[in-house]
Structure 1
Amino acid sequence: MTPPPELDLAAARRLLDAQPFSRLLGARLTDFGDGGATLEIDIREDLHQQNGFLHGGVLAYAADNALTFAGGAVLGPAVLTGGFSVQYLRPATGRALRARAHVVHAGRRQAVTRCDLLTVAQDGTETLCAVAQGTVLPVAARTS
């Protein structure tokens, strides 16, 4: 599955950068295409919850965006999240969060996507901390 011709890694990065909340979190796309997307966020103290772990809302944000970008890799750039669920497996600690998503099934009306949420330690070791699944829907492109 290759991305639609109008959507490659550079274009996907521009779409992500157009989201003010993504800029606030410092999110970045590190991989895109072939029915998948990887989004990364540096884990900072201001993104922690009261026990010192990465806040679950940051994990949910990362899952939402990675799932939707993976769906967009096959459906095109005009997509929205139809819904998703996250199962938290362990507290998220480390230097970065990596959300690696891929399309499980795609049709004309939707794409079903999965995402592994991994923390990355200083030595580069990945630890699975959550999993997510979602549905991505094509929408009419905005003209204004």
Structure 2
Amino acid sequence: MAQKVLDAQPFSRLVRARITRFGDGAATLEIDIREELHQQNGFVHGGVLAYAADNSITFAAGTTLGPAVLTAGFSIQYVRPATGARLVARATVAHSGRRQAVVRCELFAVRGEDGAGPAEHAEDAEVLCAIAQGTVLSTA
């Protein structure tokens, strides 16, 4: 169901986003990194990271507030450039009330199977790129 909702968003289809986890106060959104998503220096564009944070935050909140939700606002801090094969945005609900939820999100770049990307060792396959926090409101 969550993937169906995501697929109904034209921009999500454009970046080819997919939900890989949904439930129990959490959501994970993944995007394969491709050239069209880069900025001029070869890193994933900050707007793509912001999109991934926003959507994963909203989906995570939806697991506690129900499906009728909208992001009220969020902030994002970029900690290093995103390069690699895949972008992963993991969001978890920090607090949920009757009408709103506060959600944290960490965004990681994952190196490719061929070793491409920022990681030097197998245990470093995920590299933290950004941290976000947002408030989501129930519209029901």
Give the CA RMSD over aligned residues.
Answer: 0.9
Task: Pick one of 67, 82, 107 that aligns with 1:77.
Answer: 67
- Alignment partner of 1:67 is 2:65: no
1:17-96 mapped onto 2 (5 Å cutoff): 17-96=7-86
- Equivalence for 2:102: 112
Gaps of 5+ in 2: 114-121
The runs of at least 4 aligned residues of structure 1 exceeding 2 Å deviation read none
Distance in 2 separating the partners of 1:13 and 1:74: 17
Normalised by the size of structure 1, how large is the TM-score? 0.89
Distance in 2 separating the partners of 1:40 and 1:111: 22
- Across the two proteins, how many residue pairs are aligned to each other? 130
Q: CA deviation at 1:109?
A: 1.4
Question: Any idea what SS the aligned residue of 1:50 has?
Answer: coil
CA-to-aligned-CA distance 1:44-96 (integer Å, 9 cap, x gap): 00110000000000000000000000000100000000100000000000000
Distance in 1 separating the partners of 2:136 and 2:26: 13
Normalised by the size of structure 2, how large is the TM-score? 0.91
Distance in 1 separating the partners of 2:102 and 2:59: 12
Q: CA deviation at 1:14?
A: 0.8
How many percent of aligned residue pairs carry the same amino acid? 71
- Equivalence for 2:138: 138
Question: Any idea what SS the aligned residue of 1:16 has?
Answer: helix
